Amino acid sequence: MSDLILVIDEGTTSTRAMLFAPDGKCLASKAAELTQHYPEPGRVEHDAAEIWERTLAVTRAMVDQAGGAERIAAIGITNQRETVVFWDRESGEPLAPAIVWQDRRTAAICRDLREAGHEPAVQAKTGLLLDPYFSGSKIGWAMQNWPQLKEAGNRLAIGTIESWLIWKLTAGENGAGVHITDATNASRTALMAIGSGHWDDGLIELFGAPRKALPEIVDCAGRFGETTLFGAPIPICGIAGDQQAATIGQSCLKPGETKATFGTGAFVLTQAGPTPPTSRNRLLSTIVWQLGGRRAYALEGSVFVAGSLIKWLRDEIGLIGTAAETEALARGVPDNGGVYLVPALSGLGAPWWQPEARGALSGLSFSTSKAHIVRAALEAMAHQAHDLKTAFAADGVDWQSVRIDGGMVANDWMAQDLADMLGVSVERPKFAETTALGAAMLAGVGCGLFDGLEAASVMRGSVETFEPAIDADIRAARLAGWKTAVDKVVG
């Protein structure tokens, strides 16, 4: 019997395919980098054709590694959220660049809608705020500014990344594909009423989205069509946005359990159960999964810049040669030397929600070294997480512990710094690719390998724990310095 699970993990800077055994062991993995395009300040785009071509290549490599398509029980897909793709149903080709979640081009649109008094109604329906981060305003902008989309008429299809990949996988060599999105990705568009689980006509009209071009909303586990591109048919059985998939991969299945992912951005989700939580502190309410038509919800805090800050220090500033150097540099100085780096390179997310804010490096002196700046960059992760913890606590959802994942947390110094600044236990799984693991768990449920997410959580494996070990006065001084630095940016 085929019992291997193939996961497609399509991220912001790379796309990866991974092969899992039912016990959670990762048998093989292959990744390909993606090109990010910055046509103007504040604009971030992807080439959807490149995403598909590179995803197809790494997926094919994993099918070969498995010994053929007949060895694979199911495919699970997880993806960068909010990034939106526009394509032609007949040709299957993109009609425009994909607008990435980091893109800020609709800041003025969101500001105008906010000033017109629309945000309370949008938040009540969607759990989201009026910010360029979400897909709705991106779609409206594209319909107004890219005439080829209107010209496409009924041929136009619009969807987030998982919709695009599922269409291409199920279309085969030619013909129409399956046009669907799962409830977690749909909940990030600002076009879905998260209480009902359906597209909302009022929101669609508000943002100017074409209703007929949108996909059907489905569960996160089930049978959603199959691909025949690799020989024998393989069913697609699990779908979730990357942060929801990571929450599942961390087995945050009970209300109050919290995970924090430090990837390109940083995202904290606390499980809230079957009732949508309400935030009075500018956090988000989101669907964490939908199974059998029933939704579970989470409270979310979103930080726009995390690992991308280290990439920027490496690629654009040339301060480091590799991300791995940052741990030794941070350990090489006793403290930050009074240096603070507020990483608002693409605006500030929760709890500030200031898309036009820009980054700042403060506290420099002649005694400042490269190590101080790198340490300040790493410290910014714990500082931003502490801001979120304060907002969560004000909403009545304080964290008792945090389960961390993402590429950045391989850095032991940073993991310890998170525990020190948050003042709670920080748990890191031995297998850090929890986003892919969550997609594998969903696919396992969808194809019948597991009875439910509780049974699938056996895939998570062992963990290690970091406990707070910092003097309270040092913590307070650092947080005071951070507040001063942030106030200068948001003031």
295-324 pLDDT per residue, tens: 999 999 988 889 989 999 999 999 999 989
Residue 2 has pLDDT above 80, yes or no: no
182 CB contacts (<8 Å, ≥6 apart)? 162, 217, 218, 219, 220, 239, 240, 241, 290
What is the reported pLDDT for 278?
Answer: 86
Q: Residue 337 region, left (φ>0) first, then alpha (ψ -120 to 50), else beta? A: left
In the DSSP assignment, the letter for residue 21 is: -
Give the chain's count of helices (H) and strands (E). Answer: 16, 23
Q: Taking the chain, what is the end-to-end CA distance rounded to the nearest angstrom?
A: 61
CA–CA separation, 66 and 4 (whole Å): 8
What is the reported pLDDT for 294?
Answer: 92
**Percent of the chain with pLDDT strictly greater than 70:** 99
Q: What does pLDDT average to over the chain?
A: 92
Is there a contact between 248 and 368 (Cβ–Cβ < 8 Å)? no
CA–CA separation, 33 and 180 (whole Å): 26
Beta bridge partners of 9: 16, 78
Model confidence at 173, pLDDT cuts 50, 70, 90, reads low
Other Cβ atoms closer than 10 A to 147: 9
In the DSSP assignment, the letter for residue 16 is: E
| Type of residue found at 76 | G
Closest CA to 456 of 139, 74, 189: 74
Instruction: State the average pLDDT over residues 1-18.
Output: 90
In the DSSP assignment, the letter for residue 476 is: H
SS3 state at 374: helix
CA–CA separation, 361 and 93 (whole Å): 43
What is the reported pLDDT for 291?
Answer: 95
What is the reported pLDDT for 200?
Answer: 95
Is there a contact between 246 and 288 (Cβ–Cβ < 8 Å)? no
Closest CA to 299 of 424, 420, 389, 428: 389
CA–CA separation, 342 and 439 (whole Å): 33
Instruction: State the average pLDDT over residues 13-34.
Output: 92
CA–CA separation, 355 and 201 (whole Å): 27
What is the reported pLDDT for 280?
Answer: 87
Q: Which residue has the tokens 């008792």?
A: 400
CA–CA separation, 119 and 121 (whole Å): 5
- Judged by average pLDDT, the poorest of 13-27, 169-183, 472-486 is 169-183
Domains of the chain by start residue, with CATH: 4-243 (3.30.420.40)
User: Would you report the helix, strand and coil content of the chain in percent, each value rounded to 5?
Assistant: 40, 25, 35
221-249 pLDDT per residue, tens: 999 999 999 989 999 999 999 999 999 99
Closest CA to 15 of 32, 36, 35: 32
H or E element at residue 319: none
Tokens of 307: 């690992």
SS3 state at 461: coil
Instruction: State the average pLDDT over residues 67-96.
Output: 94
CA–CA separation, 367 and 384 (whole Å): 26
Beta bridge partners of 198: 193
Q: What is the pTM of this model?
A: 0.86
Residue 1 has pLDDT above 60, yes or no: no
151 CB contacts (<8 Å, ≥6 apart)? none
What is the reported pLDDT for 174?
Answer: 63
121-171 pLDDT per residue, tens: 999 999 998 989 899 999 999 999 999 999 999 999 999 999 999 999 998
Is there a contact between 358 and 331 (Cβ–Cβ < 8 Å)? no
What is the reported pLDDT for 355?
Answer: 74
Tokens of 114: 């906010």
211 CB contacts (<8 Å, ≥6 apart)? 199, 201, 204
Q: Which residue has the tokens 């924090």?
A: 260
Is there a contact between 136 and 187 (Cβ–Cβ < 8 Å)? no
Tokens of 2: 């085929």
| Type of residue found at 53 | E
357-406 pLDDT per residue, tens: 898 999 999 999 999 999 999 999 999 999 999 999 888 888 889 999 98
| Type of residue found at 406 | G
CA–CA separation, 425 and 86 (whole Å): 43
Tokens of 237: 């059985």
Q: What strand order describes the sheet that includes 284-291?
A: 284-291, 294-303, 266-273, 258-262, 401-405, 425-429, 463-466
CA–CA separation, 379 and 489 (whole Å): 17
Tokens of 277: 């939580």
What is the reported pLDDT for 273?
Answer: 87
Is there a contact between 243 and 350 (Cβ–Cβ < 8 Å)? no
